[in-house]
């Protein structure tokens, strides 16, 4: 059985469940590694105190989510510019929405795509920025510019390598990893890269799904 036949026996719901479980597992792995060898990614997340309803307690959470969502805009603009470049590697990347698991993923509704994006933002940021970046830099403890650079670059490369869709995609994912890492360094709040990652994924998936639907409608009308 080749890859295309394997994907044909799967459904969009199967892909949804697999994506949610996989991304959630990454977050659990980060927490386990933090417990086992440190550092604990949870230390970078503002504590939620439902017993206190005041701005001082909730402002790091609210502002972190807000700034993170706004921080997705530069990433979306970068991808929009990239897609306009007359490169074969870009065209190859564009064609991926017509095949395999991504094709099934784009059949999901907005709520399901949003949920996958949130799971990806939380799971991947806990692992790559919350744990790996800190672990590579030697945190906790005294961390200098060199150690910070090693953590930032190393975690970004690892982030790119776990997105081996194409060589170009690995490079783009690594750049995005650098950007998300800088967001964490500037804010000290893991909610910022989590929100940025989730908002970026949600926007990209929903826009691509919308374009895919429009393209299919046009193709059907032309055939008719």
Task: List, for residues 45-80, the tens digit of each pLDDT value.
Answer: 998 776 777 777 789 999 999 999 999 999 999 999
In a domain, 59, yes or no: no
In a domain, 63, yes or no: no
In a domain, 152, yes or no: yes
pLDDT band at residue 9 under the 50/70/90 scheme:
low
In a domain, 52, yes or no: no
Q: Could you tell me if 202 and 113 are in contact, meaning their C-beta atoms sit under 8 angstroms apart? A: yes
Inter-helix orientation angle 110-125/191-223, to 10°: 150
Residues 163-198: pLDDT tens digits? 988 899 999 999 999 999 999 999 999 999 999 999
The beta strands (E) that lie in the chain are given as: none
User: Is the pLDDT reported for residue 212 higher than 90?
Assistant: no
**Domain of residue 89, residue span:** 3-40+78-223
- Pair of tokens at residue 154: 């190393």
Torsion-angle region of 39 (φ positive above 0: left; ψ -120 to 50: alpha; else: beta): beta
Q: Could you tell me if 168 and 75 are in contact, meaning their C-beta atoms sit under 8 angstroms apart? A: no
User: What contacts 160, CB < 8 A, 6 or more positions away?
Assistant: 170, 171, 172, 173, 174, 175, 177
User: How much helix, strand and coil, in percent to the nearest 5, is found in the chain?
Assistant: 80, 0, 20
User: Is the pLDDT reported for residue 223 higher than 60?
Assistant: no
Give the integer Cα–Cα distance in Å for 193 and 184: 6
pLDDT mean across residues, the chain = 88
Domain count, the chain: 1
Decide which of 83 and 1 is more confident. 83
In a domain, 8, yes or no: yes
What does the DSSP 8-state code read for residue 43?
A: G
1 C-beta neighbours (distance < 10 Å), count? 7
In a domain, 71, yes or no: no
Give the integer Cα–Cα distance in Å for 142 and 97: 45
- Which one, of 202, 184, 185, lies nearest residue 193 by Cα? 184
In a domain, 66, yes or no: no
Least confident range of 26-30, 109-113, 181-185, 210-214: 210-214
In a domain, 144, yes or no: yes
pTM value is 0.90
């Amino acid at each position: 059985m080749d890859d295309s036949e394997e994907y044909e026996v799967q459904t969009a719901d199967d892909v949804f469940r697999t994506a949610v479980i996989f991304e959630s597992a990454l977050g659990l792995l980060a927490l386990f590694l933090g417990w086992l060898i440190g550092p604990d990614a949870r230390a970078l997340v503002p504590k939620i105190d439902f017993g206190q309803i005041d701005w001082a307690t909730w402002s790091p959470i609210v502002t972190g989510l807000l700034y993170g969502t706004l921080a997705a805009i530069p990433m979306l603009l970068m991808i929009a510019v990239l897609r306009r470049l007359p490169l074969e590697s870009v065209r190859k990347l564009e064609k991926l929405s017509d095949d395999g698991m991504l094709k099934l993923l784009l059949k999901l509704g907005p709520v399901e795509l949003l949920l996958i994006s949130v799971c990806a933002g939380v799971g991947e940021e806990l692992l790559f920025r919350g744990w790996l970046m800190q672990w590579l830099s030697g945190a906790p403890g005294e961390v200098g510019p060199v150690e910070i650079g090693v953590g930032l670059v190393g975690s970004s490369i690892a982030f790119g390598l776990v997105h081996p869709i194409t060589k170009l995609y690995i490079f783009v994912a690594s750049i995005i990893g650098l950007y998300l890492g800088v967001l964490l360094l500037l804010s000290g709040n893991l909610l910022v890269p989590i929100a940025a990652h989730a908002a970026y994924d949600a926007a990209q998936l929903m826009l691509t799904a919308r374009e895919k639907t429009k393209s299919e409608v046009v193709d059907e009308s032309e055939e008719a």
